[in-house]
Structure 1
Amino acid sequence: MTNDYLIKSAEMDCPICNKVHSLELRKRLTQGLVKGEVVNYEEVYYLCPLSDEEENEFVPAGLMDENLLRARDAYRIQKGLLTSNEIAEIRSFYGLTQSDLSALLGWGDVTVTRYESKTVQDETYDNIMRMAFENPMFALENLDRHKERFTEDRYKRIRKKITDKVEEVGNLYLKKQEINSLYVNFQEESDYNGFKKLDIEKLANIIGYFAHFANNVFKVKLMKLLWYADALHFRRYGRSMTGLVYKHRPYGALPIAFDEIIYLPTVRVIEEIIYEDISYKIVPNKQVNVSDFSLEELNILESVATKFKNYRAREIVNYMHEEKAYLETEEYEIIPYSLAKELRELR
């Protein structure tokens, strides 16, 4: 597989041979230096296919700015910071301009503009923007604190949008906080969490995927689907997908916070009475976006969903009971991911 490929061809004035002809717009994986550190990023450039000269490619000023932004975003990802697009998504979430978000947070007028175009934010500013996105009440409190920086009409419009978000996602924020509190003892990467800190967004998307692509997904079955996805990913790549921590329970592997995670926003829970017992059916709440997963992750999710698609809860529980990870742990004991290396093939 090549790291250099053609995006499209376009007729334009070529500065290399001073002729108008078809130039190739190409993309390649390259390295750059950001804040003293080497990062890998995708660079876009033009290639002149007619030139025999060694220098047969060029990057216009506008494209150079885009490449620099890609390099900075690669650095941000490497450091666990919000990318420029993610900052823009926070603004879009509340219907804010760049100057609006800066004013709401009490920053200089062009601070957010710089973060979206050229400057890499530090961790403190990054955390504040994350809080504003994850907790609408935090955004609302900051808006009221800096009310004087807005016209009365603009303040009222923004306040209405944020209060709508408080009603829409406020409970979700509290649910995430509740889940995170149950994982307070698993903040370090270890064999217990598959050498990955809990990723609630990834977890929510995976739950949504299984709700869409497996049949009769009740609570017990969902927990086994999650374990198999995590275990298979660990066996192949040495890390879990979600960072969930599982315990040995009578019905197989059960993650910590199993009661809380079924209320994440990608699904909804329907209570059904089966043989006088209450069962919790997990159904989709919104469309799954497969672009949220890597190709490796999608392959694993498809394998698990296909294998257990038509299994009932008792059948998948019995299947899991035969796994070495279950047989070699005691009830209520955490199941270490290292035992997933002995996972049976899903065929």
Structure 2
Amino acid sequence: MNKDYLINTVEIDCPICNKAHSLEKRKRLTQCLVKGEIVDYEEVYYLCQLTDGEENEFVPAGIMDENLLRARDAYRTYKGLLTSNEIAKIRGFYGISQSDFSAMLGWGDVTVTRYESKTIQDETYNNIMRMAFENPMFALESLDKHKDRFEVEKYKRIRNSITHKVEEFGNSYLKKQEINVLYVSYQEESEYNGYKQLDIRKLASVIGYFASFVNNLYKVKLMKLLWYADTLFFRRHGRSMTGLVYTHMPYGALPIAFDEIIHLPTVKVVEEAIYEDISYKIIPNEEVNVSNFSLEELSVLETVATTFKNYRAREIVDYIHKEKAYTDTEAYQIIPYSLAKELRELR
């Protein structure tokens, strides 16, 4: 694999040529075997330009540990597990330490420390940590269940922090459950969901991406951007990006659970009065994390965002009305992804 680029130069004692000089600190995309799976990850190394031949690079012990962690995180991503950074993000969400997070969940004191540094968690532990993040009420119940693991003042402080998150994000969790209920009939992969089960985390990331990079994003326009992202990705790769199911509605393709998905945590909705109507403007609630997307996904998102960035809602509705996927389906009928092959070319 040949993706290799310079990070910076570092003045150190070179163990290869035994001279003090500037070495290139570089990064490359490479592969390794983790738990029986070959994964791609970014490896950092030093390059000695004073030495000819193949033995002109080395990896210090500290950076080797970082490389191993990146490889393990690549495996976690491949298996749908939380990465070390995502686990740390959950702790940061509640403002607690590694040992406190372990105690809150009833685990050994160093369990979370190991997960953030070297050990790959199993699916059961992973799901518990994810639930603690996605459902603050679950985190609160876990804390109360294991309150004897904490000093009184620390318990009160952590409980206040989690209670605040319950009040702030509890509605978001309920919306996710409502979305799952509406998609219970679309659990099997088919041409209706683009041969992909609904991925709410991916959906939230996609909505956050469009909120960050598309001007004047309102509810109607967002729904059309989602359809174009899913259908273009399907045309290129044979499956949808999010697993949303779309129906033929008067104003174009509209995903099932359209009212609920705008309440996912990556965005917030602001009501605006436009003449005598109320419109719902979508604005980002957090910075876009491009690592949530593959290069193929980013290519599709950039294409859709660039094409429709300055379109008004009415213009994108008119545009979608001319798509064969729309003209060849009846009102209120599900639009099959098989019609994505007829999608007009986007620039």
User: SS of the residue aligned with 1:93?
Assistant: helix
Instruction: Report what 2:46 is aligned to.
Output: 46
**Could you state the TM-score of these two structures normalised by the residue count of structure 2?**
0.90
Worse-matched range after superposition: 309-318 or 132-141: 309-318
Query: Could you report, residue by residue, the CA deviation over 1:181-219 in whole angstroms, capped at 9, with x for unpaired residues?
Result: 111222333322223332333333443444555556443
Structure 1 segment 166-205 matched on structure 2, within 5 A: 166-205=166-205
Instruction: Report what 2:268 is aligned to.
Output: 267
Question: Which residue identity is paired with 1:186?
Answer: Y
Counterparts of 1:201 and 1:36 in 2: how far apart (Å)? 27
Instruction: Report what 1:340 is aligned to.
Output: 340
Question: Which residue identity is paired with 1:21?
Answer: H
Question: Which residue identity is paired with 1:104?
Answer: M
Deviation at 1:338, TM superposition (A): 1.8
User: SS of the residue aligned with 1:185?
Assistant: helix
Counterparts of 1:48 and 1:9 in 2: how far apart (Å)? 10
Any conservation in 2 of the 1:262–1:282 contact (CA below 8 Å)?
A: no
Any conservation in 1 of the 2:30–2:40 contact (CA below 8 Å)?
A: yes
Any conservation in 2 of the 1:230–1:240 contact (CA below 8 Å)?
A: yes
Gaps of 5+ in 2: none
Counterparts of 1:57 and 1:108 in 2: how far apart (Å)? 40
Worse-matched range after superposition: 31-40 or 74-83: 31-40
Structure 1 segment 234-249 matched on structure 2, within 5 A: 234-249=234-249
Any conservation in 2 of the 1:211–1:282 contact (CA below 8 Å)?
A: no
Say what the alpha-carbon RMSD is for the aligned residues.
2.4
Counterparts of 2:115 and 2:212 in 1: how far apart (Å)? 37
The number of aligned residues is 345
Deviation at 1:310, TM superposition (A): 5.2
Instruction: Report what 1:289 is aligned to.
Output: 288
**Could you state the TM-score of these two structures normalised by the residue count of structure 1?**
0.90
Query: Could you report, residue by residue, the CA deviation over 1:63-112 in whole angstroms, capped at 9, with x for unpaired residues?
Result: 11111111111111111100111111111111111111111100111111
Instruction: Report what 1:58 is aligned to.
Output: 58
Instruction: Report what 2:120 is aligned to.
Output: 120
CA distance change for structure 1 residues 209 and 78 in 2, over 3 Å: closer, same or farther? closer
Instruction: Report what 1:21 is aligned to.
Output: 21
- Percent identity, aligned pairs only, is 74
Gaps of 5+ in 1: none
Any conservation in 1 of the 2:208–2:288 contact (CA below 8 Å)?
A: no
Worse-matched range after superposition: 152-161 or 242-251: 242-251
Deviation at 1:40, TM superposition (A): 1.7
Counterparts of 2:103 and 2:217 in 1: how far apart (Å)? 46
Deviation at 1:331, TM superposition (A): 2.6
Any conservation in 2 of the 1:192–1:245 contact (CA below 8 Å)?
A: yes
Question: Which residue identity is paired with 2:285?
Answer: K
Deviation at 1:227, TM superposition (A): 1.2
Worse-matched range after superposition: 69-78 or 323-332: 323-332
Worse-matched range after superposition: 42-51 or 281-290: 281-290
Counterparts of 1:287 and 1:98 in 2: how far apart (Å)? 24
Worse-matched range after superposition: 245-254 or 82-91: 245-254
User: SS of the residue aligned with 1:207?
Assistant: helix
Structure 1 segment 1-347 matched on structure 2, within 5 A: 2-211=2-211, 214=214, 217-265=217-265, 266-270=267-271, 272=273, 279-284=278-283, 286=285, 288-289=287-288, 291=290, 293=293, 296-309=296-309, 311-346=311-346
User: SS of the residue aligned with 1:346?
Assistant: coil
Worse-matched range after superposition: 148-157 or 41-50: 41-50
Worse-matched range after superposition: 250-259 or 301-310: 301-310
User: SS of the residue aligned with 1:153?
Assistant: helix
Counterparts of 1:254 and 1:71 in 2: how far apart (Å)? 39
User: SS of the residue aligned with 2:189?
Assistant: coil
Question: Which residue identity is paired with 1:157?
Answer: R
Worse-matched range after superposition: 324-333 or 174-183: 324-333
CA distance change for structure 1 residues 13 and 316 in 2, over 3 Å: closer, same or farther? closer
Counterparts of 2:9 and 2:187 in 1: how far apart (Å)? 49
Query: Could you report, residue by residue, the CA deviation over 1:269-316 in whole angstroms, capped at 9, with x for unpaired residues?
Result: 4264766xx543223153552635556545544543454455454443
CA distance change for structure 1 residues 196 and 270 in 2, over 3 Å: closer, same or farther? same
